[in-house]
A and B are shown apart, each in its own frame.
Chain A
Amino acid sequence: MADKTIENLTSQEYRWGFVTDIEAETVPKGLSEDVVRLISAKKGEPAWLLEWRLKAYRHWLTMKEPRWANVHYPPIDYQDIHYYAAPKAKPKNLDEIDPEIRRTYEKLGIPLAEQEMLAGVAVDAVFDSVSVATTFKDKLAKLGIVFCSFSDAVREHPDLVRKWLGSVVPTTDNFFATLNSAVFSDGSFCYIPKGVRCPMELSTYFRINAKDTGQFERTLIIAEEGAYVSYLEGCTAPMRDTNQLHAAVVELVALDDATVRYSTVQNWYPGDRDGKGGIFNFVTKRGRCKGRNSRISWTQVETGSAITWKYPSCILQGENSVGEFYSVALANHRQQADTGTKMIHIGKNTKSTVISKGISAGHGQNSYRGLVQILPGAENARNYSQCDSLLIGDRCGAHTFPRLDVQNPSAQVEHEASTSRIGEDQLFYCRQRGLSTEDAVNMIVSGFCRRVFKELPMEFAVESQKLLAVSLEGSVG
């Protein structure tokens, strides 16, 4: 009986798979200096930014694709990708948005208009690389908050962009980040001035839409002294047959007493049951706690993508700064996830917390890879890490590769991990009390992930619960 339920549950197809048919302006496939120049020219960028891109591109040519991650995929042909695609007609406001696109969002459950009214969320919706709409801009502008697409920021706040771009993830950082630096098309930019508490959750919604387009987003968030911002990023992508590459870069900067919270729900197309298609999600996310008492918190729910390669990290530079990482990663069918975090303690009295929950089902392979590094100057640093794995079915795998490097004796570093499955006895107990197997599994899984969901902003927490229930179903061992 249980087996049949599993069969039903695990065979759930991707619910958000659809293609919006709108005309896209696309640069021919392939990558060369000309393409980099073309992207820069199309966006009307200043000369320094083009130089910056070219420097990254030239460095990229000397780099090798990393192979150390515990994931397997066929080689990527970087010349077989469109590096730029944008919907052609640019809307002036929400009402002008292509009805097709709006319908897409509605299907995803984030109608812009509704969100604007109900949730008080300003959405900078990214539809294949170019911002389609930005809401609540005025309200934010009154507070001096800049929240706009990256291209707008380059035009309107070039000094800010120039000062902070690449300050956390340098152009030479790693293969995918360098590629992104060369060809990034758009993204979000957010600047919170001194002492301002951002009154609403900021959010973007990334979608990959045009076929065979790599999406190279660049996000930059700066919180000045005493500022606070909570940022949400959500992703779902329509169904595809060929693998798509996504190599985004996110940079966060927190100055004295500032707090940045960054939450992600990632639900890109994971490929079908046999591992055909799906997104390759190779993302570099890093935050720098530059000032004293600053705080950066990453929360992620990773349910999609064929392959996830992602390590949101914190550089704890300022004294008393705090880094946090809360993660739920799910690998079902043939999905592979290699994700985790790095906490680099540089300043005194720095603290970090890592809570990672991995769930593997079907043939999914889930790895936690983490680094906690306490440098010699980090007096009284403190770290607590916990990574738990839940196994569902006997063909999946769960792996843990944490690394602790401690160079200061006053540090306290703890790491704990466990791997288990949903016990027959737990299921029996629930079923005995009248819950269906499916509900019981959902309940146990949601309990397993509770500590992470608790960290998510309300609307994301609800969405995540649902997402997990859909993508994970089939939890009985």
Chain B
Amino acid sequence: MTKESCLSEYDRLEPALPGLRDLRRRAIARFGELGFPTGREEEWRFTDVSPVAERDFPHPDEEPDASEVEELASGPLAKSQLAFVDGLYAPEFSSPPHGVTAESLGDLLDRNPAAVEPFLGRTDGGAFAALNTALFRDGAFVRVPRGTAVAEPLHLIFLSTTRAKPFAAHPRILAVVEEGASIRIAECHAGGTSPHLTNAVVELEVGEGAHVDWSKIQREGPEAYHFATVQVRQARGSVFASHSISLGAALSRNDLGVLLDGEGAECSLDGLYELGGTQLADNHTTIDHAKPHGTSRELYKGILDGRSRGVFDGRIVVRPGAQKTDAIQTNRNLLLSAGALANTKPQLEIFANDVKCKHGATIGKLDPDVLFYLRSRGIGREEAQRLLIHAFACEVLDAVPVAEVRERLEEYLLDLVSRKAGV
């Protein structure tokens, strides 16, 4: 999708896009200024976006194949679920929850744009986020009113179909969790085998003392390009936990930014990327400690096989005055094959003195001593490898709080690992 074709796509779609005319105009102008990032930019050194920048990914015009959608969305509906097919809300596969707002953002913008305008596009998230702001047609709007504890986890399902021509979806999620409220959200991306682009943006407001647990499972098809910009703002005393699992897509990139904008806010960011073939997963995270007494924990783990590449770039910023900040960041990578490559860049930028900040990064293979130990107890080489890889991943998986998601993931991963160890 060249810059020019993005701009003309915007002109083509503009009349049909829901609401926010001014915001979208500013966003497309911003995108025009930035263009697609190149490897010359430090933030994009390892991730070449030319497969996306050199090909057209328009909004799909035809309806998706109903039988494929049926198959993709098979299985029992979760009690609380919103589903989207190729970026558009699919009410037939959705069961909106009670007692809390969770609905199509597109519908809401048609009906009452004033309800969301103050929360949308508040920070500049770079070229892909600007493109999403300009072009998004639909997505989810979630609002948890003050003091409400939502027991049932909310599932946000984004499905892509298989189509003859490449296409794009720019889903947008806006979640506002008010003071003292709590919710668990599972965002899942899965689908089709044809080339497509997912360019998602999530904006999340965590109110004073609120708790949000967000799992993101990316299991897109082998020819998918997945970009996601997630921006979280935490108020005083709030708690935010993220679990970002990247398994699919030819190329995936997550930009996760958390602003601890109130005293005593806590966040924990977990991530797992499990790649093979020529897959590339790039995780960029920024934790911005703007106020005192903040706590952050970050753990990203990578399992890299084939000729895959895992990129981790984590930044922790402690602003002047953010005293008593306590931050720990860890990145561990397991290289399973000679062609796999790990790039990691953990960074600390600290402008306050009374802080405890640590980071650590490791890259290595399975410990031969441990393998030997298992084998000496009669466990075959493959089984031993399988056990160890599984154990490595479990540190992240076990923390996923939504049981059905966790179980499905474990199953998927075990299967993947078995296939790997079998080779």
A joins B in a complex? yes
- Which A residues are within 8 Å of any B CB, using their own CB? 68, 374, 376, 389, 391-421, 477
Whether the Cβ atoms of B348 and A398 lie closer than 8 Å is yes
Which one, B42, B323, B349, B364, contacts A413 given CB within 8 A? B364
Does B350 belong to the interface (CB within 8 Å)? yes
Whether the Cβ atoms of B351 and A397 lie closer than 8 Å is yes
Q: Which residue of B lies closest to A415 (CB)?
A: B361
Q: In the assembly, what is the distance between CA of A414 and CA of B360, in Å?
A: 7
Residues B357-383 near A (CB distance < 8 A): 357-365
Whether the Cβ atoms of B341 and A407 lie closer than 8 Å is yes
Whether the Cβ atoms of B350 and A406 lie closer than 8 Å is no
Whether the Cβ atoms of B346 and A406 lie closer than 8 Å is no
**Given A376-B338, A399-B350, A415-B362, 17 other A-B residues pairs in contact with their CB atoms under 8 A:** A391-B355, A396-B351, A399-B347, A400-B346, A402-B346, A404-B345, A404-B361, A408-B338, A409-B335, A409-B336, A412-B363, A413-B361, A414-B361, A414-B364, A418-B358, A419-B350, A421-B353
Q: Which residue of B lies closest to A414 (CB)?
A: B362
Whether the Cβ atoms of A404 and B342 lie closer than 8 Å is yes
Whether the Cβ atoms of B354 and A419 lie closer than 8 Å is no
Q: Which residue of B lies closest to A393 (CB)?
A: B353
Collect the chain B residues with CB atoms within 8 Å of residue A477's CB.
353-354
Q: In the assembly, what is the distance between CA of A414 and CA of B342, in Å?
A: 13
Collect the chain B residues with CB atoms within 8 Å of residue A401's CB.
345, 347
Q: In the assembly, what is the distance between CA of A397 and CA of B356, in Å?
A: 13
A417–chain B nearest beta-carbon distance, Å: 5
Give me the 3 closest cross-chain CB pairs, A-B, nearest first. Answer: A409-B335, A391-B353, A419-B357
Whether the Cβ atoms of B355 and A420 lie closer than 8 Å is yes
Q: A401-B345, A418-B357, A419-B355 are in contact. Are A410 and B365 (CB under 8 A)?
A: yes
Collect the chain B residues with CB atoms within 8 Å of residue A400's CB.
346-349, 359
Collect the chain A residues with CB atoms within 8 Å of residue B361's CB.
402, 404, 413-415
Does B147 belong to the interface (CB within 8 Å)? no
- Which B residues are within 8 Å of any A CB, using their own CB? 42, 320-321, 323, 333, 335-338, 340-365
B313–chain A nearest beta-carbon distance, Å: 9
Collect the chain B residues with CB atoms within 8 Å of residue A415's CB.
344, 346, 359-362
Collect the chain B residues with CB atoms within 8 Å of residue A403's CB.
343-345
B256–chain A nearest beta-carbon distance, Å: 19
Q: In the assembly, what is the distance between CA of A374 and CA of B349, in Å?
A: 26
Count A/B pairs, Cβ under 8 Å.
116
A30–chain B nearest beta-carbon distance, Å: 32
Q: Which residue of A lies closest to B357 (CB)?
A: A419
A432–chain B nearest beta-carbon distance, Å: 21
B345–chain A nearest beta-carbon distance, Å: 5
Q: In the assembly, what is the distance between CA of A427 and CA of B265, in Å?
A: 29
Collect the chain A residues with CB atoms within 8 Å of residue B321's CB.
394
Collect the chain B residues with CB atoms within 8 Å of residue A410's CB.
365
Collect the chain B residues with CB atoms within 8 Å of residue A411's CB.
335, 363-365
Which one, A392, A409, A413, A419, contacts B348 given CB within 8 A? A419
Collect the chain A residues with CB atoms within 8 Å of residue B360's CB.
414-417
Whether the Cβ atoms of B337 and A399 lie closer than 8 Å is no
A-B contact pairs, 17 of them (CB 8 A): A374-B363, A376-B338, A394-B354, A400-B348, A401-B345, A401-B347, A402-B346, A409-B340, A410-B365, A413-B362, A413-B363, A414-B364, A417-B348, A418-B356, A419-B356, A420-B357, A421-B353
Q: In the assembly, what is the distance between CA of A470 and CA of B362, in Å?
A: 37
Collect the chain A residues with CB atoms within 8 Å of residue B350's CB.
389, 391, 397-399, 419
A366–chain B nearest beta-carbon distance, Å: 10
Q: In the assembly, what is the distance between CA of A408 and CA of B362, in Å?
A: 13
A357–chain B nearest beta-carbon distance, Å: 14
Q: In the assembly, what is the distance between CA of A402 and CA of B356, in Å?
A: 18
Whether the Cβ atoms of A405 and B353 lie closer than 8 Å is no
Q: In the assembly, what is the distance between CA of A399 and CA of B348, in Å?
A: 5
Q: In the assembly, what is the distance between CA of A395 and CA of B338, in Å?
A: 46
Q: A409-B336, A412-B364 are in contact. Are A417 and B346 (CB under 8 A)?
A: yes
Whether the Cβ atoms of B358 and A416 lie closer than 8 Å is yes
Whether the Cβ atoms of B344 and A396 lie closer than 8 Å is no
Q: In the assembly, what is the distance between CA of A417 and CA of B316, in Å?
A: 12
